[in-house]
Amino acid sequence: MTFIGKTLILGGVRSGKSRLAERLARAHGGPVTVVATATAGDDGELAARIAAHRARRPAHWAVVEEPLALAAALRAADGPGRCLLVDCLTLWLTNLLLCEDAARLAAERDALLDTLPGLAAEVLLVANETGLGVVPANALARRFCDEAGLLHQALAERCGRVVLTVAGLPHILKGEPL
């Protein structure tokens, strides 16, 4: 089942996927809520990336920081005429893989997939496309690639538009042009 108001934006690191999502959110015209999934902890480099994303966003956009319960955050921010921008699914998946509750990943993934069709808002989902290169050498990295690939396939099936961003250039894989 495909939902036209849902867009999955995939790309590699620094491919321009977040900037594209932000551009689409600006063009939406309605209220925007960013659901940010990153947590920097003591990682100074990640903290700098988070700060750069914050600085780029318009001050009037609402921001919800939610590293795990993404479906619940989307339901809470939902509404007709709204735009929900999730940045990013990759960090959300990482947070869940590192969670002490091993069953939480499946529960939260299923909740997202079940919640997405019922959302009234336009939804922009940002994620790093993985698995385009060498198979990772360790079990956690392989599991991450497997989980990300399965999640992206399930979301691509449910989204009305899927975009692959390379070098700042969007390539439509499914749906209407931008």
Query: 7 falls in which pLDDT band (50, 70, 90)?
Result: very high
Annotated active-site residue 60? The verdict is no
**Domain limits for position 89:** 3-174
Residues 26-69 pLDDT 10s:
999 999 999 999 987 888 888 888 888 888 899 999 999 999 99
Residue carrying the six token digits 């399930």: 154
Task: Tell me the pTM.
Answer: 0.94
Query: How many folded domains does the chain comprise?
Result: 1
Residues 28-40 pLDDT 10s:
999 999 999 998 7
Question: Could you tell me if 91 and 151 are in contact, meaning their C-beta atoms sit under 8 angstroms apart?
Answer: no
How far, in whole angstroms, is CA 105 from its chain's centroid?
A: 15
Which DSSP helix (H) or strand (E) runs through 123? strand 122-128
HSE-CB of 27 using CA atoms within 13 angstroms: 8
Q: Of the listed 28, 53, 60, 152, which one is catalytic?
A: 53
Instruction: Count CB atoms within 10 A of the CB of residue 65.
Output: 12
- For the domain that residue 158 is a member of, what is the CATH number? 3.40.50.300
Q: Among residues 35, 30, 20, which one has the least CA distance to residue 177?
A: 20
Give the pLDDT score at 1: 45
